[in-house]
A and B are shown apart, each in its own frame.
Chain A
Amino acid sequence: MTGTLTPETSLDAPLTIGGRSFRSRLMVGTGKYRNNEEMVRALEASGAEIVTVAVRRVDLDRTKEEGVLYHLSPDQYFLLANTAGCYTADEAIRYARLAREAGFNDFVKLEVIGDRETLLPDTEGLLTAARTLAREGFQVLAYTNDDLVTALRLEDAGCAAIMPLASPIGSGLGLANPYSIRTIKRRLTAPVIVDAGVGTASDACLTMEQGVDGILMNTALAEAQDPVAMARAMGLAVEAGRLAYLAGRMPRREVAVPSSPSRGMLA
């Protein structure tokens, strides 16, 4: 045991995506909170630096809320715009360009959805959009399924990070296929950020223990009974899982091995 071990300094390097370094490996969404005040407190409790936002029409009648930036300082968080709700490559490209025009950065969380029930990605549209946006200088973080071949193609397309799902968006089912996620992480050079499906802290910890670079979540916080407490739990779980991965777990054995000496027992 090294006496001076702290996760921030001794073992871990910062997470680097598209030339930017981040100290937190937890990214959080800003959707579906009961109110903005709770959202702001949950973001703070999570320790996240990167927060996702969506691009939508301004409500001209002003009957609804102001934009999210009314509640969230772009100086405090790195805004990652998504293309959520887009079902074609063209639509996703249009949303990404609009998001970049907002003037904060050239990062985009690219989603091209292929099925309304499962919200699973349309990988063909995703690859098309990823290629175009990468060529236009975007740092593309691509939401995809847990398929290695698609992940490899997205990396070839020039994506800054690949974001395979743990399980479907908003499902809270946890890490459905640790093997696939490990395989993707092992085979890719680009950062792997697991996006979607995490339900509670153990899911986040188990996901980070697979060796991935980070996790993005939204519903697990927004729909928790206490989003602020869950945000804190998730921050700790991501750190714990990351540290456990770096520490290297003991081997699994199917027999017991005593922890106390077998010698020196009384006669």
Chain B
Amino acid sequence: METIKAIQTRRSVRAFKKEPVTREQLETILRAGIAAPSGGNRQPWVLIAMCDHLRLKGLVSLSPGLFSEPGAVIAICLDETRVTKTEDGEAESMVWMDLGGLMENILLAAHDQGLGACAIGSFHEQGVSLLLKLPPTLKLALLVSIGVPARIPICPKKRPIEELVFFEEYGGRNGH
């Protein structure tokens, strides 16, 4: 799929058919995810892919943002051993942008494979961390649900480009 077309046509798909995501599709998506750029090439992430029906059912009960059981879920974790901490012990903000880039790669790769996907931020962190048997050095950051779409939503209203994009300076309308 052509890249710009993929970006423009991707939607957040929340309803899935009861059909599996193949191992080949999942590996393609995971490899696209970890191809994302990261500050200092630290690659501060670990991904856990889940496809087992019973485990997914448990995950759905712990994750209000998962509206239905998808064919697969990828848990995106921040690897705190690869992160510089600020003076107050928080991970520096750059790593969250790194994870955002990885997430977008996953969403676009799923779309490229003819699948639907949605980034999920609503989950019970402690519960899902237990389910995934995460060590203390991994912080669960996001879930991405993936599956064969049952319904594809229409494009939501987007703010007009004139409100969001300027040239040369804030408010500038003339490009080169």
Q: Do A and B come from one complex?
A: no
Residues of B at under 8 Å CB distance from A? none
